[in-house]
């Protein structure tokens, strides 16, 4: 098995474990790792057309938007959820127990330069992820539609 396949399998297992802990604890445990709220993002697979979901943290959010960071832990590849959103930007996410319809877009350079200090301020690990890769880590703005 390739190194990337092992990393991907590990990430999927971690996401599954997170889902189990949240479910069993009634969303009390691991709901704010590193002080950031967890969101459950629901997308449609760009290749399969099947529903997909994953847990992510949101370092920046307000009443009109939720910001996600497509870091994949500093991997040289973009995460699948980001590629799915590029193909189909209309999605749903659950934040604080409420389901929201969203329209996702990649922040432009100006928006990212304004958001990045807030993102790193919320979790300094994002700066380390960016140092690990030559890829410019995308920042995704999910605009709440409801």
Q: For position 121, which CATH number holds?
A: 2.30.110.10
> Are 21 and 41 found together in one domain?
no
Helix (H, G, I), strand (E, B) or coil at 85: helix
Helix (H, G, I), strand (E, B) or coil at 57: strand
> Are 96 and 127 found together in one domain?
yes
Token output for 48:
């399969």
> Are 16 and 79 found together in one domain?
no
> Are 64 and 133 found together in one domain?
yes
- Angstrom distance (rounded) from CA 26 to CA 132: 35
> Are 47 and 60 found together in one domain?
yes
> Are 122 and 90 found together in one domain?
yes
User: ∠ at Cα 135 (55, 18), nearest 5°?
Assistant: 15
Indicate the pLDDT class of residue 76, thresholds 50, 70 and 90.
Answer: very high
Q: Is the pLDDT of residue 101 over 50?
A: yes
Which structural domain range is residue 4 located in? 1-29
Q: How many CB atoms lie within 10 A of CB 117?
A: 10
Indicate the pLDDT class of residue 146, thresholds 50, 70 and 90.
Answer: confident
Number of domains in the chain: 2
> Are 25 and 90 found together in one domain?
no
Mean pLDDT of 21-39: 59
> Are 59 and 17 found together in one domain?
no
């Amino acid at each position: 098995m390739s190194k990337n396949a092992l990393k991907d399998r590990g990430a999927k297992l971690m996401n599954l474990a997170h889902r189990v802990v949240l479910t069993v604890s009634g969303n009390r445990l691991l709901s704010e790792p590193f002080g950031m709220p967890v969101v459950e993002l629901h997308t449609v697979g760009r290749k399969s057309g099947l529903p997909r979901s994953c847990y992510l943290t949101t370092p920046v959010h307000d009443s009109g938007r939720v910001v996600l960071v497509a870091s994949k832990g500093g991997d040289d590849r973009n995460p699948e959820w980001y590629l799915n959103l590029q193909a189909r930007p209309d999605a749903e996410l659950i934040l604080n127990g409420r389901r929201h319809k969203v329209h996702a877009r990649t922040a432009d350079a100006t928006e990212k330069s304004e958001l990045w200090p807030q993102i790193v301020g919320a979790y300094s690990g994002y700066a380390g992820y960016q140092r690990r890769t030559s890829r410019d880590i995308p920042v995704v703005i999910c605009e709440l539609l409801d």
